[in-house]
Each structure stands twice: as structure tokens, then as C-alpha cells.
Structure 1
Amino acid sequence: MHRSPTPDAEAALAAELSVVRPELSAPFAAGLPGARAAVLSRLWRALAHEPMPWIARREPGRDGLTLHLADGRRLSGPHADPYATAAYVTEVRLDGTAYDRPARLMTALAVPNGPDFAAELDHSTASLALSRAGQPGAQPEPVTSREWEQRVVDGHPYHPNCRSRPGFSVAEQIAYGPEHRPVVGLGLASMPSEECLVAGDWPKWLRDGDRVLIPVHPWQAEHVLGAGGVLGPADQEGVPAHPLMSLRTLALPDGPHVKTALSARLTSSVRDISVQSVASSGTVSAFAESMAARTDGLLHVTRTLGAVTANTPDLAAVLREPPEAYVSSEAGERVVPVAALPATGLPRSPSWMAEFTRLALTVGLRLLDLGVALEAHGQNLLVVLSSTDAPLRLVYRDLADIRVSPARLGRHGIGVPELSGRIVTDDEVTLRRKLFGSLVAGALAATAGSAPTLREALATAVRDLPRTEDLAALLDEPLPTKALTLMRLSPRTPGDRWTHLPNPLNSPAP
């Protein structure tokens, strides 16, 4: 096995772990091979399907796939199922040399911006092993949605940076990562009200006379803001909260969810909160709620209760309803983030997967036809399950990245909200990419876990759907998805980059 020099986050994390949590050192070391395979599988998917300028052509064969690089080298590995979530790639070969560590492979490829991405891959692998090492054995059945999403240990199902948390120490990952199930003490930044933009109903408990109290993530306080007298926590421990999948959004006990600004790059994006998103939060929330009402009760949107910014993306917060607001506990219902469905043991059967797919496509396509494209990936989308685990309806949260089409709204006689910026577009490609890339290539694909399972669910579900132009595009065209690795290898190219995956409905099995 090749051992070329590369950033070694695995060794650095192991050294820190031996001091911070020595009891996790052995399970961390034991988990490294599996973490490498998980990240390498995600990376191989990207290399097999994203438009890398340094890959001249791809040649499938009986035993696997060979990538012919522009410089004449060859990279070989197994057939790449674009919808697989299992860690099935344990090594690939570059001109005959085997690589089992994704960071070392990226270093050996020697492509533009590769060294920085190699460091991210190394960190992602080490952090993933840490996340897995910290899992207890037998656990009681989760009750709340936040307990379910803390079961999502491996992060993004298709991004090689699934657990990359640059700037976080081992102690901070354990203290703030949802998969470690900590209680996080939020600080409160006390700011003069005249220096803040407040939208919606900012609660009394987050006000102090003529000053506004803004919830602050402790990592943000230490690494970005600096306490410096700005922070005044409610008590020495701060406001207790439970981190959710996005890490910077937390559930308050018996209360709303709070999205905090976190100026760190997690997977691909820096998780701050723009001033514009705060200013438009109330309008977007009311509009989305009105559109959800047009789905015959199949969709609810968690309302934005209030938002505030000190006129900087680094100091802002959003309060929104918890998804439990749309669940009947008396009827035995529960609400589960779609990303956490595999942790529940679902889907248990092809019929369940088809039923869930039909529900998700019915809602997504209906809203798209009306003029709203949801970013319905497994983190934003939740499903309400009956006492027998039947999928009943959906809950959607975090409206920052939806797209709204004035032209489509107008065709249905729906008033256009006062919105501006990237959220507003009539571009058909953009609208379909937003929904299909997040819902079909994201949430549904990851729940299915493979191309054959996704194909069967889609084929069954689409039989009952209205035959719209959007459905025709979904049935007949390649499936759009974000080119997540290409984006990380193109740091100076703004905006999203896209690729197309084989349509599972009309493509042969990989």
C-alpha cells in the first residue's frame, strides 16, 4: 500500500484523543479502516460521475470502472453506483498503485487545488472515525426528532467531506457534535436594539430592556467573536440546548429550535446567517406556510418565529417551531428527519419505500408546479410516521434556500411575495435542479441506499402522479445533483456546480 506524504489528521486526532478521552482511543483506531472506506466510497462516486476537467474519459468494464486521466494515467476501481450509501470501496489503483486513504489518493492525483482538498478529506476521515467511536451500545428508542437526528453518525451520505470540521478540536467536536449527544450552553450577546435588525416576534426572554439578546454558539464566541464583554450568558452554564444535524442549529428544551451563526466551513458551506435572510425571514415563512396549505395537509412548514442580526453574518440567530408541533402524540405519531430513517430500520420493505416516495414526490412536484422549489434533502425534510410506521405527511424546515418562481405563481393566480435575491427565479433548470437534486438524488436516494432500490420505488410511485412537464423531466432526463467534490476543487468559482447522474428509471444497473 502506497504511503506518500500527506496531511495526517488521523495521527493528530489520535494524539489529542489520548489526552481528552483516552477511553475512545482504541475504538477510534479500530474504526479508521471503515471511516477510510466510507470517505473513499464518496470520493469514488464523485470521480466517477462529476465533470472533472482532468478526467479525459471513463471506461466501464466487466470488473469495474477505469478513469483515463488527461495526463495519461489510469485510475481503476469498482463499478460506481451513484445512489449507493454503503462503504463499498476499500481501495482504488492509480497506475497499479493501491490507495486506501482518500487524502493520499487526492495528493497522488496532483490536480489543481488538490492539496487543500486532501487535507479536508483527511480531517473528514479522522472525524468520522471519532464520531463512530463515541457511539454507545444499546440505546433506548428515541422519542423526539432531535434524538433521532443525533443517530445520524456519518453525516452527508454522498459528500466526501461528510464529517470535515476544520477549526474544531477533538474536545470541541465531542462538546458540540450532535452524534456525541452533548448539551451545549449557548451564550447570549447583549446588543443595543438600535444596532440590530429584528424580524418577527423576538421573545421577551431574549430581551433586556432596550437591548436584544442574541443566542451565540460557544464555538463562534471563542473563535470568531471573542467574548470580550459582549457575551452575557443567562447563567454560568449558558442556555442549555441540544445540537441537531446541522450542528449550528439546536433544540431548546420544551421550546423552539434556534439556528445560530457558525462561521466555519462544514462540508461545503460556511454556516453564517446573512442580513438579507433575517430581513426576509418573516415574509418567506408566511409565504411558505400559505403554500403548504395547498397540499391538502400533506406538508407542514415549521414557522420562523423570529430572527435577529447585529447587521453582520457572524452574529445572528433564527428561532423556529420544532417539528413536533405537527405531530399527534395521542395517535402514536412520531416525526423523523429523513436522513435518520435508516436508523429507525426503515425502509423495511419495497412497498414502504414506494409509499414514502409517492408522498415525497406528490408534495414536491405539486409545490414545484405552483412555483416553489424546496431544497428537500434529508436534513430539511422530515416525515411524520403513524404508530405502525406508515408515512403520513411531511414537515419541512429551514427556508433559506428554497426557490420561488413569480411566473409559475402567476399562472396559478397566486400573489408574488416581496422577495429578492437568489431565492427568486423563473429559470426552469434552476427550479428543477433545486428539487430533483435535493429530493430525488438526495433524500430518496439515500433512503433507498442503491440504484436498484431507488428505481423500484420511483417506478411504483410515479404511476399515480399527475403527468406534468416537471414529472416528464424527472422521468426522461438525467438526474441533476450538486457536483460537491468539483465545488471543493474549484474554490474560486462562486455558486453551485452541477452534474447529472444516470436516471434510475431508464438506466441499466451499474
Structure 2
Amino acid sequence: MHRPPTAEAELADELAAVRPGLVPGYAAALPGARAAVLTRLWRGLAHEPLPWLAGREPVRDGLVLRLSDGRRLSGPRPDPYATDPYVTVVRLGEVAYDDPARLMTDLAVPHAAGFAAELGHSVASLALSRAGQRGGPRPWPGCDWEWEQRVVDGHPFHPTCRSRPGFSVAEQLAYGPEHGPVVELGLVPVPAQACLVTGVWPDWLRDGRRVVVPVHPWQAAHVLKRTCEERLAAHPLMSLRTLALPGGPHVKTALSARLTSSVRDISLPSVAASAVLSGFGQVLADRSEGLLHVTRTLGAAAAGTADLAAVLRESPQVYAAAGERVVPVAALATTALPRSPAWLAAFARLALTAGLRLLELGVALEAHGQNLLVVLSAAGEPMRLVYRDLADIRVSPARLARHGIPVPELPARMVTDDERALRRKLFGSLVAGALAGTAGSRAALGQALRTAVRDLLRTSDLTALRDDPLPAKALTLMRMSPAGGDLWTELPNPLHESPN
């Protein structure tokens, strides 16, 4: 039976045509990329409420999953907080699989085919991302965008961590931050009366009575179907659609492509609410007792559609004093800092103190490794935090009222008094995301958290964090659910001792 070419082979053919010098590095990176994606997939299979799984059976040297049709899938003992690729092979019956896409294809469960294609693309793109990397020690970056471009593997726990459907190899090399490109943003003038603008849109992005909207070149070519005569050089950050202007602000552009889980457009309600959210962010920063800065949104504009919109946001670097560095939490793993248990505990204490303080006030941050940054002293000690992009926070009017904080006019999806939803948002992003991705294992994360919580103010939220299973997004289930939206699972609490 003839099988269609795999994503790995298709990418290899494209790469040979556009950058033949990377072909050997790409081929060498494929086994490690398969293991990295398979490790992420095994996390989902081992811990998420997948409807076609009938049960899970721990065994002496691993875990056996029983499928509803009677088949058995076996693999190593899962560590839901591990970032090193410890899963190299799993077995469906007696057949061994080292390729997550082939495994998902042969599982043949509902919606497996589309997810298998995403997994194949994730492996191939991850190998491409790793192919051009230079080994050995690297100096600490001097620019904010250089930190962002050190994050090569993408999301530490998402099985489609590098899936970029709709991007050719040439486009990945031209726009992917890990490849270190300079991206030429297009500049599209729009009549002011046809444009929604909030905040202060700068004069250098105006042309008489027209508002000039920066547009990502992929968006211009594939969605807007237009060329842009004027361009603006910028450095892509880890989110790919947000870019740093040299010496200036960050520009968040609309990018109507599915990256990891979401289509990255900028909705009109988010543009309309951006100034209010930015002002609210400063209220939160003032209430954080000096632990947290929130980057300001300078201005936002949308030309009547989510396909042509942009947000200007100040660089987190403005919150660094002399000798300090501001580092995205996702980039911490590229340094030696988290390898010290004392450093990791200090960072966990800082992050939990700030996060729980805001949660008590009534705001649950989505503090994952991309949104959350840490200010380091010249000696590398964690001093303060910086948070960017308030678009996905959750706000409790009841909690705000208890603390005398007026409730701003926010999109309805952000507002809830449901304590479970509030805790899911913070704990799922901060503990199961940012801190877990920095620690790299259940043992390291548990040790850091047990040290950190000793000094924290006792609240009902802290009690829930200490006693309950840890909520996390069910990333595999979400990709296999046609309805879309956030779905959740519960992970073993890292504060509890790991079973033998």
C-alpha cells in the first residue's frame, strides 16, 4: 500500500531547494524532535480525560493505557512536568513507535488523522528549528529580542509545540524567531474614519488623515493578498506575530494562522478594550507591593477587521534598572540559573507571592512562560516580575469589590466569580506552565514549591494549591476536540511527594 509522503520528507524536499546547507542538520535533528514531541504527547495520553481511553494501569516500569476497543498502549512512567525528551518509544500491542504522527495514525481514534498531521508538522518544524542552532555556551543577550530568539523548542508541554501549518520552509526561515531573521513589516494606510483606534497612535504611524497599520508579511501575502510598498524592519519575538522595533516598542500584529492551538488574530473587542485593560494593568501593578510591573499598551488600531490590526506595547526592558536584565521565563532554561535549587525556590517564591497576591485582589493572570518575565539583578537573582498581554486574564468583580477596586468595562469572557475558573487560569499557567517548564521535572518543581510556600500568606487559594490536584489545560484533548475552546485536566500535585 502506497503511503503519502510524510511531513518530514516534504519539509526535507523544500529545504533542499531553499537552504541545502541545513539539510544535514535537519536530518540529524529529526530523532530528537520525534522524542521531544512524543514526550509531550505521552503526557497528554497519560493524564488527560480522552474519551477513547478505558483505563490507566501503573506497572513496575511504566504505564499501560487500555483503549476502549481492547488494545493496550504502554510506555514509561509519566512525569507531567518533565521537559527533557525521556519518551523515545511507546508500544501499541507489540509494535514499537518512535514517531508520534505514525502512532496517532495507527491509533485511528476519532479525529486522529488531523491531529497526526499536526504532530508530523510539529516534528518536522522542530527539527528545522534545531538544525541551524550553534552548540556550546552562549553569552547573555544584550537585547530583548535576542532572549526571545533563544527559545527554540516552543511550548514545553504542547505536542504541537512547533506546528506551523500554512508556513512554507522559506517562510519559517524568514519569520521564525529561532532562525534569527529581520522581518520587514508592511505598512498599510487606512482612512482614519474606517479605523478603530484606542490609546495614542503615534505620529510616525500616521499619514495625514490616514492611520498606518503594521502588517506581518505572511498576513499580507496569504490573507490580505496585497503587497506593501513601505516597510519597517523588526525582530520577531517568541510568539512570532509580535516583533520588537529596534530601540522602540513591540508590535503585535494580526496573523490568521493556527500556531500551536490558536489562530493569532486581533479581535475588534480586544482593540476596543486595550486602553482600559492597560490602565487596569497599572492599578494591578500599584497593588503588587513592588513585585510586578505590567507593560503598557501604547495604542491599538484595527481597520474594521481582525485581519488588519496591530497593538503597540512598551518593551519590558523599560522596567530594568542599571545592571539588571529582563528575561522571559521561557528563556530561563537556556541559562544555568534554574539548575540551582536555591535559585529555583527563590524564583518560585517571587512568582507565587505576586500571582497569589493578585488572585486575592480578584485577578487571575495567564502567567505562562511567554507572558511572564523576570527582572534579574546583575548577579542573576530574581528581583521582580514583568507581565505582558492582559488579553486572557480573568477578573472577579466580587473579589475586586472586597478590596475597593472598581471593576473596569471588560469583555464578558474575562469576567467571572467562579473560584475554580480563577484558580485554573493562574495555577494552570504559572505552576503547571511557567514554573514547571523552568524546573523541568516533578522532583525539581516539588522541591522548589515546598520551599517557597513556607513563606507565603495563608489564603484559601494557597490551600487549594497545596491540597488539590494541579489544573492544567488538556492540550492533546483540545487539539482532538472539534468544538474548540479550553479544556482542562488534573495533574498530580507536585507539592505532594512523588510515589515510589
Q: Would you call these one fold, judging by a TM-score over 0.5?
A: yes
Match of 1:486 among 477, 485, 498: 477
In the superposition, the TM-score normalised over structure 1's length comes to 0.96
Counterpart residue type for residue 386 of structure 1: S
Q: State the match for 2:48 in structure 1.
A: 50
1:187 CA drift (Å): 0.1
Alpha-carbon spacing, 1:424–1:95, altered in 2? closer, same or farther (3 Å): same
Q: Shift of the alpha carbon at 1:71?
A: 0.2
SS at match of 1:166: coil
The SS at the match of 2:444 is helix
C-alpha distance in 2 between matches for 1:185 and 1:137 = 28
Give 3-state SS (helix, strand or coil) of 2:339's partner: coil
CA distance 1:140–1:457, change in 2 (3 Å): closer
- AA in 1 matched with 2:89: E
Distance 1:49 1:227 in 2: 45
Q: For 1:34 and 1:5, how far apart are their aligned partners in 2?
A: 23
What is the aligned partner in structure 2 of residue 22 from structure 1? 20
Q: Separation in 2 of the partners of 1:495 and 1:140?
A: 40
What is the one-letter code of the residue matched to 2:340?
A: S
Q: Is the Cα contact below 8 Å between 1:28 and 1:132 reproduced in 2?
A: yes
Distance 2:143 2:336 in 1: 16
**Partner of residue 114, structure 2:** 116
Q: Is it true that 1:217 corresponds to 2:216 in the alignment?
A: yes
Distance 1:205 1:113 in 2: 48
1:156 equivalent to 2:155? Answer yes
What are the ranges of 5 or more consecutive residues in structure 2 without an aligned counterpart?
Answer: none
Answer whether contact 2:443 2:498 (CA < 8 A) is retained.
Answer: no
Structure 1 equivalent of residue 272 of structure 2:
279
Within-5 A mapping of 1:87-126 = 87-126=85-124
Sort the Cα spacing of 1:509 and 1:147 in 2 relative to 1 into closer, same or farther, 3 A. Answer: farther
How far residue 149 of structure 1 moved from its aligned partner, in angstroms, is 1.5
2:269 and 2:411 in contact (8 A); partners too: no
- In the aligned structure 2, how far is the partner of 1:470 from the partner of 1:140? 40
Asked if structure 2 preserves the Cα contact closer than 8 Å seen for 1:81 and 1:450, the reply is: yes
Distance in 1 (alpha carbons) for counterparts of 2:85 and 2:2:
23
Which amino acid in structure 1 is aligned with residue 70 of structure 2?
G
Shift of 1:75: 0.1
Report the CA distance shift for 1:509/1:175 in structure 2 as closer, same or farther (over 3 A). farther
Q: Is this contact kept in 2: 1:384–1:395, CA < 8 A? A: yes
Report the 3-state secondary structure (helix = DSSP H, G, I; strand = E; otherwise coil) of the residue aligned with 1:481.
Answer: strand
What do the CA deviations read for 1:379-436 (whole angstroms, capped 9, x no partner)? 0000000011000000000111011111100011111112232011111111100000
Whether the 8 Å CA contact 1:452–1:509 is kept in 2: the answer is no
Mapped contact 2:268–2:305 kept (Cα < 8 A): yes
Q: Which residue of 2 aligns with 1:243?
A: 236
Q: Which runs of 4+ in 1 moved over 6 A?
A: none
Q: What's the RMSD between the two structures over aligned residues?
A: 1.2
Indicate how the Cα distance of structure 1 residues 452 and 4 shifts in structure 2: closer, same or farther if over 3 A, else same: farther
* Structure 1 segments unaligned to the other structure (5+ residues): none
What is the identity, as a one-letter code, of the residue corresponding to 1:130?
A: L
Q: Which residue does 1:345 correspond to in 2?
A: 336
Q: Distance in 1 between matches of 2:409 and 2:476?
A: 35
Instruction: Tell me which residue corresponds to 2:65.
Output: 67
Residue 6 (structure 1) shift: 6.3
Whether 1:269 and 2:262 are equivalent positions in the alignment is yes
Report how far residue 144 of structure 1 moved.
2.0
Residue 310 of structure 1 pairs with residue 303 of structure 2: yes
Alignment match of 2:485 (pick from 492, 495, 507): 495
Aligned residue identity for 1:90 = T
Following superposition, the deviation at residue 224 of structure 1 comes to 0.4
Amino acid at match of 2:308: L
CA distance in structure 1 between the aligned counterparts of 2:274 and 2:430, rounded to whole angstroms: 23
User: 1:284 Cα shift?
Assistant: 0.5
- The CA distance in 2 between the partners of 1:425 and 1:490, in whole Å, is 24
Moved more, 417-426 or 183-192: 417-426
After superposition, the Cα gap between the structure-2 partners of 1:41 and 1:4, relative to the gap in structure 1 and judged at 3 Å, is farther
Residue 473 (structure 1) shift: 0.4
Aligned partner of 1:465 in structure 2 is 456
User: Which residue of 1 is the match for residue 363 of structure 2?
Assistant: 372
Deviation at 1:327, TM superposition (A): 0.2
| 2:8 aligned residue | 10
Contact between 2:57 and 2:63, CA under 8 Å: does it hold in 1? yes
CA contact (8 A) 1:6 1:104 kept: no
CA distance in 1, matches of 2:329, 2:210: 39
* Cα separation, 1, equivalents of 2:339 and 2:90: 32
Deviations, residues 170-190 of structure 1 (Å, cap 9, x unaligned): 000000000001000000111
Instruction: Render the CA deviation track for 1:363-386: whole Å, top value 9, x for unaligned.
Output: 000000001100000000000000
The whole-number CA distance in structure 2 between the counterparts of 1:211 and 1:426 is 42
Residues 338, 463 of structure 1: alpha-carbon distance in 2 compared, 3 angstrom cutoff: same
Report the count of equivalent residues. 499
Change (3 A) 1:187 1:193: same
Query: Percent identity between the aligned chains?
Result: 71
TM-score after normalising by structure 2: 0.98
Q: 1:291 to 1:265 in 2, by over 3 A?
A: same
8 Å CA contact 1:7, 1:118 repeated in 2: no
How far the C-alpha of 1:278 sits from its partner, in A, is 0.3
